[in-house]
Amino acid sequence: MANLGIPQNTIEVLQKYHFNFQKKYGQNFLIDTGVLDRIIAAAEITKEDCVLEIGPGIGTMTQYLAEAAREVVAVEIDKALIPILEDTLSAYDNVIILNEDILKVDINGIVQERNGGQPIKVVANLPYYITTPIIMGLFEQHVPLKSITIMVQKEVADRMQVGPGTKDYGALSLAVQYYAKPEIVANVPPNCFIPRPNVGSAVIRLTRYEEPPVQVRDEQKMFALIRASFNQRRKTLVNGLGNASNLQVSKEQAAQALEQMGLSPTVRGEALTLEEFAELSNLLF
């Protein structure tokens, strides 16, 4: 089968099937063999691996994954792409194509069935609007996984790996860093895609921790606390928590807990590290 990382081959497939890009699915297909090689290398795919690919598109990266992995489960929401995938991946007997919405599919069930419950690797080229729900879904459902290697909008990749006191730091940074070690492995300019997106992209690898780097009694409470801290960024942490109806934390309680931690009652959420959020959560709950 023709390598779809070569632009001419992608254009031929799109023309053959009269494919129309769906804006609602944020479709941008990768046409750069160098970037594809880097993704496979960063994900450290071996013949032992079962890979879950989210949003295979016309199968460009799926071809590379199928060459490198034992098995690939590719989940594609757009039914117009299913006949194309069956064509472009016809040479591979180790690819399973599911026409499903990744946010509704039972990923733990797939891991049980296809990999005996052993950790899988996730690889994806994700549209901007759905990046956070997909990543958080994988982590919060405790899907057994070794790593997630994804292409996302550059600013989202930055947000996942920054620390306190920066403007990009927020609930996503903390959530990702609680579950995994983030590392940007490549920056990818718009001309590597068809159609060209308006923004730059980056490939980021999230390597799942065996154990979270902080000990917290109630994970959900800590994340509710983190979200409340960043909902009103300009407000102090005490006000942010006091105003959050779902937490039942008074401003006095919040101020008292911060004082116990040796922090000022006027501190903002963006100044706290993951360790400090865990400590605050343990004090309050």
Which CATH number does the domain housing residue 55 bear? 3.40.50.150
Q: Does 43 map to a domain? A: yes
pLDDT at 193: 94
CB contact at 8 A, 50 and 116: no
CB contact at 8 A, 200 and 189: yes
Q: Which candidate, 42, 34, 91, places its Cα nearest to that of 62?
A: 91
Last residue within a domain, chosen from 152, 183, 208 = 208
Instruction: Please tell me whether residues 44 and 19 are part of one structural domain.
Output: yes
Last residue within a domain, chosen from 208, 241, 272 = 208
pLDDT at 233: 80
Q: Does 134 map to a domain? A: yes
Q: Does 214 map to a domain? A: no
Instruction: Please tell me whether residues 242 and 198 are part of one structural domain.
Output: no
Q: Does 115 map to a domain? A: yes
Could you tell me the CATH number of the domain that includes residue 240?
A: 1.10.8.100
Q: Does 108 map to a domain? A: yes
The label of the residue with tokens 């016309």 reads 58
Q: Does 2 map to a domain? A: no
Instruction: Please tell me whether residues 152 and 253 are part of one structural domain.
Output: no
The pair of three-digit structure tokens given for residue 167, joined into one six-digit string: 């403007």
Instruction: Please tell me whether residues 94 and 42 are part of one structural domain.
Output: yes
Q: Which candidate, 247, 258, 273, places its Cα nearest to that of 173?
A: 273
Parts of the chain with a pLDDT under 70: none
Instruction: Please tell me whether residues 49 and 14 are part of one structural domain.
Output: yes
Q: Does 213 map to a domain? A: no
- At position 32, the amino acid (one-letter code) is D
pLDDT at 245: 85
Instruction: Please tell me whether residues 60 and 117 are part of one structural domain.
Output: yes
Cα 154 from chain centroid (whole Å): 13
Which residue range(s) make up the domain with 15? 7-208
CA distance 106 to 215: 28
The pair of three-digit structure tokens given for residue 196, joined into one six-digit string: 């060209």
Instruction: Please tell me whether residues 102 and 236 are part of one structural domain.
Output: no
Instruction: Please tell me whether residues 140 and 271 are part of one structural domain.
Output: no
Residue 122: strand, helix, or coil: strand
CB contact at 8 A, 174 and 162: no
Instruction: Please tell me whether residues 66 and 128 are part of one structural domain.
Output: yes
Q: Which candidate, 119, 131, 151, 164, places its Cα nearest to that of 30?
A: 151
Q: Which candidate, 248, 224, 244, places its Cα nearest to that of 236?
A: 244
Q: What is the DSSP string of 150-161?
A: EEEEHHHHHHHH
Instruction: Please tell me whether residues 151 and 106 are part of one structural domain.
Output: yes
Read off the DSSP letter of residue 81. G
Distances (CA, A) of 32 to 4, 35, 107, 110, 184: 9, 6, 29, 30, 18
Q: Which candidate, 151, 187, 156, 175, places its Cα nearest to that of 43?
A: 151
Write down the pTM of the prediction.
Answer: 0.92
Domain count, the chain: 2
Instruction: Please tell me whether residues 204 and 238 are part of one structural domain.
Output: no
- The residues that bridge with 30 in the sheet, in sequence order, are 193
pLDDT at 20: 83
CA distance 67 to 167: 40
Instruction: Please tell me whether residues 70 and 161 are part of one structural domain.
Output: yes
Q: Does 97 map to a domain? A: yes
Q: Where are the beta strands (DSSP E) in the chain?
A: 29-30, 50-54, 71-75, 95-98, 120-125, 145-153, 180-188, 193-194, 201-208
195 preceded by a cis bond (ω within 30 of 0): yes
CB contact at 8 A, 235 and 200: no
Last residue within a domain, chosen from 173, 208, 243 = 208
List of residues 6+ apart from 101 with CB closer than 8 A: 77
